[in-house]
Structure 1
Amino acid sequence: MTADDTRGRLDDDDPAYTMGRAAEMFGTTPAFLRAIGEARLITPLRSEGGHRRYSRYQLRIAARARELADQGTPIEAACRIIALEDQLEEAQRINAEYHRAAQTPTAA
């Protein structure tokens, strides 16, 4: 399973995945997940026992970080790239909304 295939199926916010399971899904280590957490790319929720729990959304972000790291990008840089990609995507979404609103005729 490629990271792209995995990302397509990871779309909810239920923090159901343990650190071990999340690391296993992406062929990475718990240390990698801790590192992207320390870089504040994702903030896993904690179970009552204090164990990290990841949502599918967070795993999608972790998969993107893993792709960049596999290409030789340092983790801190990968986290910054992902944050900038998210900001760009949000700006493009807002821009598209403005354009749609500007093109919609107003009723008099």
Structure 2
Amino acid sequence: MTADDSFGRLDDDDYPAYTMGRAAAMLGTTPQFLRAIGEARLITPLRSEGGHRRYSRYQLRIAARARELVDQGTPVEAACRIVILEDQLEEAQRINAEHRRAAGPPDSPGEA
């Protein structure tokens, strides 16, 4: 991979571009918080060849939502579960909307 290829991947939300220290600094939290949400299976960072954790922008958005909940007094494990359920709900709503669009407009009353 060339340097140009690496820079092009920075636009990819799933590219693990951030070290644990950088990710923690961006979120205004600690590496321990990132480890805790990893242990709770909210996010699973990728590992560099040297074994260091690397985070994507998508993972940082999820971590930021968990941090909001923790800052409001929610325990880490509960915050992670809430974020997972919010994500599942959003996905279900997206799928339902797609099905409604595919089915077309409903028949008007009185038509048959």
Change (3 A) 1:57 1:11: farther
The answer for unaligned runs of 5 or more in structure 1 is 1-9
The residue number in structure 2 matching 1:24 is 25
Identity of aligned residues (%): 86
Match for residue 88 of structure 2?
A: 87
Q: 2:74 is matched with which residue?
A: 73
Match of 2:61 in 1: 60
TM-score, normalised to structure 2, is 0.82
Structure index of larger Rg = 2
Query: Which 4+ runs in 1 deviate beyond 3 A?
Result: none
Q: Which has the higher contact order (CA 8 A, sep 6+)?
A: 1
Q: Distance in 1 between matches of 2:12 and 2:35?
A: 21
Aligned to 2:108: none
How many residues align? The count is 96
Query: For 1:77 and 1:44, how far apart are their aligned partners in 2?
Result: 20
Distance in 2 (alpha carbons) for counterparts of 1:58 and 1:11: 12
Q: Which TM-score applies when normalising by structure 1?
A: 0.85
Partner of 1:40: 41
Task: Tell me if the contact between 1:11 and 1:57 (Cα under 8 Å) persists in the aligned partners.
Answer: no
Distance 1:86 1:79 in 2: 11
Give the drift of 1:81.
Answer: 0.3
